[in-house]
Structure 1
Amino acid sequence: MNVHKNKGPTNVLWSGDQQSMPPEVMAFLAGEDVRLDRALFVYDIQGTRAHLIGLAEIGIISDAELNQFKQALEDLQQVYASGEFVLDQRFEDGHSAIEFFLTEQLGALGKKAHTGRSRNDQVLTCLRLFMQDQLDELSDQVSGVIEQLFSMAEANQNTLMPGYTHLQRAMPNTVAVWLLGLAESLLDDLEHLNGLKKLLNSSPLGTAAGFGVPLPLARETSAAAMGFARVQINPVSTQNSRGKYELMVLHGLSYLLTDVRRFAWDLSLYMTSEFDFVGLQSSHTTGSSIMPNKNNPDVVELMRASVAVVDGAVAQVQSLLSLPGGYQRDLQLSKEPLIKGMQATREVIGLLPGLLGAVVFKKDHMRTAISPEMMATDQALHKVGQGQSFREAYLDSKQDHELVITPEDSIKSRVSLGGAANLGLELMKSRLEKLTA
């Protein structure tokens, strides 16, 4: 197979025979597209194949030519995966790399591949496929974390700990309730990701530069070839979704990592000697370069900080969208924050199962930290049960030192749904099953 080697000028799709642009201008226009398109290249190949299937249906290429294209694209995917074909600075972007490869392999036939297509709907298509694929994998990761939290909660239903408001001791709680707080938050995030996937499940291919094309493109056929449920109909709306859909996805990632950040904050506090509720195995801590006594929760702290990467990506894309309708070259800069934000999120969620497995609960310390005044609410409600109004009972309980309620009694009485004695775990499991069905 004749694989294009690292030689010659940058290949572009729009210049014809004129390549007089200064290299520094060309480099500025191309930016980081080639490097970033390495994350999108397989999806660009997939979109090209679907477009060619549609062209064959309307007679622009023959079935025999379609088979030649399919084989060439399969070859490209294989040599790209093996490293024999490198997406590098020879090319303006991944789109030009595909077209030049097809032309090199198929000659004049390769020049038909871009018929009825613009780089505008081409990049929209591969970004849409990328986001769908990444969200599918992220959802699987989140589901696995939720299941692990369920298991940990079941094992710690009777592990007592103080509950806090304003960082002050408030009422007795259990580790199970605390863990399920993260689990249900992640269920919300998973439902939001499912909604995003439903929105993204539409094909922009065939809208070209935002005006349609003077060909009866088989858009539904191309959409089905990529697994999309529907087509995105209006070409102006489709072009205006560039950046908008990326922003929606990044917001979803931010919500997810915000929940992780809060849990990481709790872990950071509970690991301090002032709390001393939780330990971490050495697999997830580091030492100090100067203090031999230190055992630092660096993994937890970097997880806590990772939402800043995603929020930075949100700000970057949002600032790009102060644009009129239609495609503007500014939108080229939406790729990097999307890819960076997705990579940061996938990394954090991928590390969570190992972190959770490394957590050691110091049960005696947590139980000892539950002080008598934390049962005041239980005392007040006990008086309510004897006929006193809550406000009177509230005031009396501040001064009543005779009624003794233990932390264990307090936990056993927490029978409202979601409380320590009625976790609602089966309801949460049922919700997870529906979200992952």
Structure 2
Amino acid sequence: MTRPIWDKGGAAADEAMQRFCAADDVALDRELFAYDVRASMAHVGGLARIGVLTEGEAASLVEGLARIGEDFAAGRFVLDARFEDGHSAIEHLLAEQLGEVGRKVHTGRSRNDQVLVAARLWLKERLGALVTLCLSVAGACLTRARGTAGVPMPGYTHLQRAVPSSLGAFFAGHAEAFLDDAETARAAWSRVDQSPLGTAAGYGVNLPLDRSGVAAELGFGRVQISPIYAQNSRGKLELLGLGALHQASLDVRRMAWDLSLFATAEFGFVRLPDAYTTGSSIMPNKRNPDVVELLRTLPAVVEGAMAELSAILSLPSGYHRDLQATKGPVLRAFGRALDGLALVPALVAHVAFDEARMRGAIDPTMYATDRAVELAVGGTPFRDAYRQAAAEMTGTAGLAGRTPEQSLGARVSPGGMGALGLDQLAARLAALQVEAGGAPSG
């Protein structure tokens, strides 16, 4: 390992201690490295604007940083165990390239705000991706809902057949869930959208840093004012982002549960795309719904990360080395959950439903609720109507001859099977797409 950037001379630090303290920081920083380079370039520009660096020095540093970023992206430079972390690697490489000028890059900042800003930029991008994916899933569900609004299927409560429903209602329900998830992720993004760079180790520095200019250059909406809070917010804002990710993963799990349940032979409502299933290693007759089953695990990964962060953040104010341990869980959770979420739009688009099988699962007793409401509209007190419908259900005399289409068409309460409100959901989707910076669809 190169000598740490905090080394002041004298005896070298114990190697076993350094390995323990560095842990997997170098491996994790590979994901944050490009953001660290980008933030360093903005910091250099800010130092030049207040006269700490000359224009020539700043230009050399920016050029050197750009070269480091390009070498890293192309694989010509590998962040490895030679370095304590990505921050020390950047400073070492600049000093190697530019000599004395390279060693000026760290003026006015600490590794504390350096890692904060890199992580904050990374988290903004991941939350932006979460918004986009949630909207993509919602859009795919709305497309299916429009095409299946009148396709009957049983509606379940307690996993028992309850009332006639429709495939369109099934997809509309999942669409609205992911619209909520997109809004939650967007709200988390807005909280994360504040620059901590220039807060140093949590108490500012004796320089008139151009924090606002640097924040704007990095695309932040505002500056995080208090240096103390900048340090105290490390892990807290990541936990907020994980909360938004968790909401989406819960809805992925519910949809995956629905599909895996409906794909069983006992239900027989769903055929999953072959591309989303695997085979058994011993049973030639098997196609296994591995993708939807593994999608059900996503909340566990995110909850694990949230538990780690919650435990680590039991700290007093100021920086503590414990905070280093917040990086791994966050990177792991977002990586796994976003990869899973990215599979969902195509799964929604291509999953096939057996309409005859679903229609056949609707028996006359499932019209009992419709019958009770009809009696109540005719003047019978609802509890009496409820009992009468139950009695008719026993012999099916008053319930036979009805069709699923009649039941669905009569369910005109807003959002009900006969009034799904798909145009309202589509309008909300379009508005959220515009807010997220994309072109509206559907």
TM-score normalised by length of structure 1: 0.96
Tell me which of 398, 411, 415 is aligned to 1:414.
411
Of stretches 395-404 and 368-377 in structure 1, the one that deviates more from structure 2 is 395-404
Work out the CA distance in 1 between the residues paired with 2:349 and 2:222: 41
Q: Give how far 1:281 is off.
A: 2.2
| Aligned partner of residue 114 in structure 2, secondary structure | helix
Q: Give how far 1:332 is off.
A: 0.3
Work out the CA distance in 2 between the residues paired with 1:106 and 1:416: 71
Work out the CA distance in 2 between the residues paired with 1:357 and 1:220: 45
* CA shift digits 1:369-427 (9 cap, x unpaired): 00111000001111122221111111101112433332211100111111111111111
Residue of structure 2 equivalent to 1:235:
227
Contact 1:284 1:358 in 2 (8 A): no
Specify the code of the residue in structure 1 equivalent to 2:262: Y
Specify the code of the residue in structure 2 equivalent to 1:411: L
Equivalence map 1:300-339=2 (5 Å): 300-339=292-331
| Aligned partner of residue 136 in structure 1, secondary structure | helix
1:402 aligns with 2:397: yes
Contact 1:40 1:130 in 2 (8 A): yes
Q: Give how far 1:19 is off.
A: 5.5
Work out the CA distance in 2 between the residues paired with 1:35 and 1:19: 27
Contact 1:56 1:66 in 2 (8 A): yes
Residue of structure 2 equivalent to 1:436:
433
| Aligned partner of residue 199 in structure 2, secondary structure | coil
Residue of structure 2 equivalent to 1:391:
383
* CA shift digits 1:236-263 (9 cap, x unpaired): 1111000111111111111110111011
Residue of structure 1 equivalent to 2:439:
none
Contact 1:11 1:90 in 2 (8 A): no
Specify the code of the residue in structure 1 equivalent to 2:73: A
Tell me which of 202, 215, 230 is aligned to 2:207.
215
1:378 aligns with 2:370: yes
Across the aligned residues of Structure 1 and Structure 2, the Cα RMSD in angstroms comes to: 1.1
1:123 aligns with 2:108: no
Work out the CA distance in 1 between the residues paired with 2:2 and 2:344: 42
1:40 aligns with 2:32: yes
Specify the code of the residue in structure 2 equivalent to 1:254: H
Work out the CA distance in 2 between the residues paired with 1:194 and 1:18: 50
Work out the CA distance in 1 between the residues paired with 2:276 and 2:211: 50
Equivalence map 1:146-185=2 (5 Å): 146-185=138-177
Q: Give how far 1:51 is off.
A: 0.9
Contact 2:151 2:167 in 1 (8 A): yes
1:85 aligns with 2:77: yes
1:264 aligns with 2:271: no
Contact 1:162 1:173 in 2 (8 A): yes
Q: Give how far 1:23 is off.
A: 1.5
Residue of structure 1 equivalent to 2:53:
61
Specify the code of the residue in structure 1 equivalent to 2:138: I
Instruction: Return 5+ residue gaps in structure 1 as ranges.
Output: 1-8
Specify the code of the residue in structure 1 equivalent to 2:324: Q
Residue of structure 2 equivalent to 1:203:
195
| Aligned partner of residue 163 in structure 1, secondary structure | strand
* CA shift digits 1:34-90 (9 cap, x unpaired): 000011001001111111111111100011211111111111111111100111111
Distance 1:19 1:203, change over 3 A: farther
Distance 1:19 1:256, change over 3 A: farther
Residue of structure 2 equivalent to 1:193:
185
| Aligned partner of residue 38 in structure 1, secondary structure | helix
Specify the code of the residue in structure 1 equivalent to 2:297: A
Work out the CA distance in 1 between the residues paired with 2:116 and 2:424: 39
Of stretches 419-428 and 30-39 in structure 1, the one that deviates more from structure 2 is 419-428
- Percent identity at matched positions? 47
Work out the CA distance in 2 between the residues paired with 1:385 and 1:140: 45
Q: Give how far 1:18 is off.
A: 3.7
Distance 1:13 1:114, change over 3 A: same
| Aligned partner of residue 327 in structure 1, secondary structure | coil
| Aligned partner of residue 398 in structure 1, secondary structure | helix
Specify the code of the residue in structure 2 equivalent to 1:115: T
Work out the CA distance in 2 between the residues paired with 1:227 and 1:363: 50
Work out the CA distance in 1 between the residues paired with 2:347 and 2:3: 46
Contact 1:102 1:110 in 2 (8 A): yes
* CA shift digits 1:197-219 (9 cap, x unpaired): 11111100011000011111111
Contact 2:130 2:182 in 1 (8 A): no
Q: Give how far 1:142 is off.
A: 1.7
Of stretches 182-191 and 10-19 in structure 1, the one that deviates more from structure 2 is 10-19
1:70 aligns with 2:62: yes
Specify the code of the residue in structure 1 equivalent to 2:40: T
Work out the CA distance in 2 between the residues paired with 1:21 and 1:204: 30
| Aligned partner of residue 391 in structure 2, secondary structure | coil
Contact 2:249 2:337 in 1 (8 A): yes
Q: Give how far 1:311 is off.
A: 0.7
Distance 1:288 1:248, change over 3 A: same
| Aligned partner of residue 172 in structure 1, secondary structure | strand
Distance 1:114 1:146, change over 3 A: same
Matched pairs, number: 429
| Aligned partner of residue 402 in structure 1, secondary structure | coil
Instruction: Return 5+ residue gaps in structure 2 as ranges.
Output: 435-442
Q: Give how far 1:188 is off.
A: 0.7
